[in-house]
Chain A
């Protein structure tokens, strides 16, 4: 059974004169214990999608979906409050820039303690505070922070970026979630710290069978840690498949271009030659092209591309393109 099954989710931005379709019919499904990468350029709607799943978008954004199942339960049929309680129970999210996601005036210990679920505590109310504290310390140990005394008393600005991200992960773990959404957890972080965070996430996945949705703009980096990858472009679904499929035999011209633009994936590249890139840049929200949004930049675009392509499934390798590269392999 799928843990999360989303079909044709759209997110609309309601402005004063018109509405903009920021995310256009994107499907995403996750199995238990899976690590899925969600890859796309900045501005391709990855973070929006994640925030829509967790339900923290403000009222300017309107979310529609054809299907939104969580462990077989249809969340669309539930009221917003019920949906929120289910989601916040089972899904946790860590954000980019952890420093700004921690309350600057509250100590780490307090913030961790309030994330601890009341149901995990036992005993009378005067014992609960103590239990919360010890639960917070245990969480810090889980994410590999040994000096818990110092950390608990600190304010966010006194810790490094990587430590803050660990604290965020600890907070996310407090509810013992089934799914962790990591929204560019290592943006603006040094490479050594990046490695630590990714290793921590990988170990959580292996030891606790926790599913992880890893959002990143860096396809090459993500391939080390994920089983499956979904690629998005400008709010549209591009391609989804196993990491190997995506990395070796991408069906979509956009994924091909992404891989060609990284020196590691592009082995045939001769030394000191230019990396291939797509012409132009990602369209801004106010001027989105009709049909397939890659159209104006796509090397394989033809007249049919003014209509948005349907998703075609080749044994689990889904691609949304009229002229996929499948036949070229």
Chain B
């Protein structure tokens, strides 16, 4: 287990190092003065430019420039946004938690609904249930997310008026920003309308989270189905049958865990996909997250924001990836420790 942990942490560090390398080189590849791209101060006076080049060691060689860049990142100085003139790190701290909240909720919804349905399909293999589930999964996977979001708003917020269509929480509730994750902040706050605020925030997150969860959820259905079908063919299931266990016992004790292992492997990979969907959804639902901010930055050619946002988002995706690897290892004894000779 120790070797496994060290290897994963090693992988995390190396990947983040490579990501910084990419975002650093972006400053030179984007049009305009690299110094301006790096700091985000547009139209600087000659004096300001001198100070900046001093700060970023712009006259030294690339290695020292890169090293200074790294030092700036570790200090949390990501420059200022070209568009809003606000420091980027504070923007990210404000916006990233909302995205984490949305994407995690969507991931949990996708897993909690997709995986059991996939298992049900596999258990009823070659029956009508299986075919229905597969058809729905196919449909769900091919629906474009922006269209689905608009239809969801049209139906559930405008016509039926069940759920709000935009934002994270109603403006009536004043919640202090502590962790940034709305639900935790609500629970931490000492407002007397805490539970109303909680309800309000929940009703706000349902629609965007479900929209984001649909495509990954249908993918999980298919993954879980194939994983379960593979497991049901294996020798140990046949041996368990011969042992005299009932079908439910076999499913609960042996099949689910083994099938889950194979699904969890793919969850980390799917998370990047889910983040892309979340970015689009944030724009449509006016969700104050980093995805919307990043897309706006791209429109406004805010190069400083783009490179910083990319760095933060991809680090976040990668950390989630590593976390799913740990869950995988916790479930699978084969991955946990080195194999003994057979």
Contact = CB atoms under 8 A, between A and B. Distances in A.
Interface of A: 51, 54, 56, 84-85, 88-89, 92-93, 95, 97, 99-106, 114-115, 155, 157-158, 160-161, 168, 171, 174-175
Contacts of A171: 239, 243
15 contacts: A51-B238, A54-B242, A100-B235, A103-B240, A103-B254, A104-B236, A104-B332, A104-B333, A105-B331, A105-B334, A106-B254, A114-B253, A155-B334, A157-B342, A168-B239
Q: Count chain A CB atoms within 10 A of each CB in B243, B245, B334, B342 and give the residue with the most.
A: B243
Contact of B242 (A56, A105, A158, A161): A56
Given A105-B332, A155-B333, A161-B342, 18 more contacts: A51-B238, A54-B242, A88-B242, A92-B243, A93-B242, A99-B342, A101-B236, A101-B239, A103-B236, A104-B333, A105-B258, A105-B261, A105-B333, A106-B257, A114-B249, A157-B334, A157-B339, A158-B340
Contacts of B258: 103-105
Interface string B209-235: 000000000000000000000000011
Interface in B285-342: 331-334, 339-340, 342
Contacts of B241: 56
Contacts of B244: 84-85, 88-89, 115, 175
A115 B243 contact: yes
B15 to A, nearest CB: 28
Interface of B: 234-236, 238-245, 249, 253-254, 257-258, 261, 331-334, 339-340, 342
Nearest to B242: A93
B240 A95 contact: no
A115 B257 CA distance: 18
B234 A100 contact: yes
A101 B254 contact: no
A102 to B, nearest CB: 6
Contacts of A175: 243-244
Q: Which 6 A-B pairs have the closest CB atoms?
A: A88-B244, A101-B239, A100-B235, A101-B235, A155-B333, A93-B242
B327 to A, nearest CB: 13
Nearest to A100: B235
Given A104-B258, A157-B339, A95 B238 contact: yes
A105 to B, nearest CB: 5
Contacts of B332: 104-105
A265 B62 CA distance: 81
A281 B254 CA distance: 39
A160 B238 CA distance: 21
B239 A102 contact: yes
Nearest to A93: B242
Contacts of A174: 243
Contacts of A88: 242-244
A114 B239 contact: no
A154 B243 CA distance: 20
Contacts of B333: 104-105, 155, 157
A56 B238 contact: yes
A104 B331 CA distance: 11
A33 B339 CA distance: 41
Contacts of B238: 51, 56, 95, 101
B216 to A, nearest CB: 24
A100 B332 CA distance: 15
Contacts of B236: 100-104
A86 B234 CA distance: 24
A98 to B, nearest CB: 9
A101 B249 CA distance: 16
Given A105-B257, A171-B243, A97 B235 contact: yes
A117 B333 CA distance: 27
Nearest to B255: A103
Contacts of B253: 103, 106, 114
Contacts of A92: 242-243
A158 B334 CA distance: 9
B54 to A, nearest CB: 58
Nearest to B238: A56
A174 B244 CA distance: 11
Contacts of A54: 242
